[in-house]
Structure 1
């Protein structure tokens, strides 16, 4: 077939890459729901006259809504496509931010964060990742990783925008501005994604695309729940530095600013990690990529224990970011390699939900262990133990794998 008559809408074709770019934009815009509440937390605390624990409730509610939405909307995407969920996300985020800006008390603010903003944000993560996976075969790992980077890009865009906005208005004014931005940008972008995936995306019982098909000597349900447990375990481990590094730096006498810089360093390194593991997954598969990332994350957690100097903490945080960034997208790749393509939305969403709950559980567990021991050393060891569970599951799935010809994978 000549270039002039080649179909641009095939998997891995020009439209697929254009669609990926739109998906990254949507993920970056929709990610406002995760980052805005973190930035305005001190202002919200002062406005409502509450303590820090009370001011933290909206973030917890947002993460719960975000976790549930990844699964619930993933099921919807499998049946009706991605456009309606993203349009609903735009309305939900816009209404959520606008109403939250008018909230008279912390309880109404928390409810709006969890229901409208949390659920609205979820449509632009797991469901978008699942949708874009249908448009790629040879570069599926890279495409999934790129789509997942939108969440990190949101962590760069929205905090900067909100900090700028707070120089001219209060947090309520900033929320109203976000409400308008989400509504006027996300709906036109969502309509660009109206074309359904090519029928070849759904050929075969498991991962689509023929050459990318893999099988495992486990039932689909058993593999799904192993991935859920693995996702929960890896993110319990992942949460220790991400949630507590600022407090850890304060305990060591370095103050808040270095801890905040370390979070930014982790996030930036996480983008690099996601892109690199996307390339890797296309070559060696999702399970091996997951195992490599998990081993490296475990090693980074070990490094936090003996090295607590300021320079060494910056270096270890960089290593940690480079290790953990690609772990979550690896689950989406594994789902698409081993499980039915027509169920990708709900299955990816379920694992993503487990990873988010793992972050919430891990952050709480680390705080509890710190309260019990007066030190973060045991909390790092707790993270390492959960990380070892994740590695064990990855090794087990790898050992149960088959090649396409039915022979056991090495």
Structure 2
């Protein structure tokens, strides 16, 4: 089947918005692969007679598969388009659930989780983010934020649904039924995504009427062959370092808030409530930051999010009462939820759209690595110091690294625009 490109007029058209909400549904369904394993963990421990640590291995492998799959599926989407990528991801996801549900050993279960479910889930994440960014220009930020909210929605919706069916039908049938649902629904929804994005590489020509915001002029003045004066590989490496740094800082409260509450004598239940509050407000943050990025651009949105996240980490150091921790946890959720989507916007603003899928995948993989590194590092620091104070300070240090990179990139963007304007006047 020949997949044709849409016309430039399709950017921000009713079709683009309809496609966006289909992408939101696909991501919400496909991201189930990241959360079902956490619900079924006790059953895996019992089924295969393994320790809690061994039962946690499939989760780690799933996240590794998801991270590597983000790069692979992003490149696949660049080469073959999002339609074929969704189909491939749906087949991987459905087959992975079926094989995991039939697994007779922890090894077989882990392989299905890593190679099929992890990669299949990635097929409904990074490629959809990159694809969405190419259907919008003036409202690209809010569009990407809506799309990426599917990942958070999956974390909200799937665990209680999976737990209900585990209790009524057992984990094996639940897994296989989930796989069948994901396969059928994603294949059906994929038909809305048959058109490839418009060939136009920038929305400046398509939407030239009205004032062009300063950040858009900065992006337009940057040559994709030398974005912000760097080679594409060098700029991508800087974004990866920034992604690791911000997510190392982000991981401290997200991974350790429950343990922190237990250390303070508030109990695990309070910590779980704070984590739920944090993630729930993250959806609002993601949408709000998308709106902000449409007005100030991806780089400045990243700097704003980094600064506010650093402020919240400092507040964690100062406040250790129950009420104050609830308030700070909510603020942290509001501050950090929009950081990761902004990386996809920066990639779209400064790199060639033909490379969007692969480059977004690499940068988002770096953020996942940062979350993993930050969670582990905070535990090591706690073991060495006996408290979480040093771990919060470590997070603040990594956050400062992220903010420093963003300030440097913004400075180079402004200098590049000034140089372009000077040449135009000359």
* Shorter-chain TM-score tier: over 0.9
Shift of 1:301: 1.2
Query: What's 1:157 paired with?
Result: 157
Shift of 1:171: 2.0
Instruction: Note if 1:319 corresponds to 2:331.
Output: yes
Query: What is the distance in 1 between the residues matched to 2:123 and 2:16?
Result: 19
Query: What is the distance in 1 between the residues matched to 2:394 and 2:102?
Result: 41
Instruction: Note if 1:253 corresponds to 2:265.
Output: yes
Higher mean C-alpha displacement, 168-177 vs 270-279: 168-177
Query: What is the distance in 1 between the residues matched to 2:206 and 2:324?
Result: 44
The answer to whether the 8 Å contact 1:237/1:387 transfers is yes
Q: What SS does structure 2 have at the residue aligned with 1:116?
A: helix
The answer to whether the 8 Å contact 1:218/1:400 transfers is no
The answer to whether the 8 Å contact 1:36/1:158 transfers is yes
Query: What's 1:218 paired with?
Result: 230
Shift of 1:382: 1.4
The answer to whether the 8 Å contact 2:285/2:338 transfers is yes
Instruction: Note if 1:390 corresponds to 2:402.
Output: yes
Query: What is the distance in 1 between the residues matched to 2:206 and 2:311?
Result: 34
Query: What's 2:109 paired with?
Result: 109
The answer to whether the 8 Å contact 2:282/2:337 transfers is yes
Alignment of 1:194-209 (within 5 A): 194-200=194-200, 202=201
Query: What is the distance in 1 between the residues matched to 2:187 and 2:325?
Result: 42
Shift of 1:82: 0.6
Moved over 4 A (4+): 206-211
Query: What is the distance in 2 between the residues matched to 1:153 and 1:360?
Result: 21
Structure 1 stretches lacking a partner, 5+ long: 1-6
Q: What SS does structure 1 have at the residue aligned with 2:10?
A: coil
Instruction: Note if 1:406 corresponds to 2:413.
Output: no
The answer to whether the 8 Å contact 1:208/1:336 transfers is no
RMSD between superposed Cα atoms in Å: 2.0
**In structure 2, do the counterparts of structure 1 residues 254 and 166 end up closer, same or farther at CA, with 3 Å as the change threshold?**
farther
Query: What's 2:322 paired with?
Result: 310
**In structure 2, do the counterparts of structure 1 residues 285 and 229 end up closer, same or farther at CA, with 3 Å as the change threshold?**
same
Structure 2 stretches lacking a partner, 5+ long: 1-6, 223-227
The answer to whether the 8 Å contact 2:8/2:199 transfers is no
The answer to whether the 8 Å contact 1:208/1:341 transfers is no
Count how many residue pairs are aligned between Structure 1 and Structure 2.
400
Instruction: Note if 1:239 corresponds to 2:251.
Output: yes
Query: What's 2:48 paired with?
Result: 48
Query: What is the distance in 1 between the residues matched to 2:291 and 2:374?
Result: 29
After TM superposition, the score normalised by the length of structure 2 is 0.90
Query: How far does the alpha carbon of each residue in 1:219-278 deviate from its partner, in whole angstroms, 9 at most, with x for none?
Result: 322211110110111111111111111222222222222222222111111111111111
Query: What is the distance in 2 between the residues matched to 1:350 and 1:209?
Result: 29
Shift of 1:330: 0.4
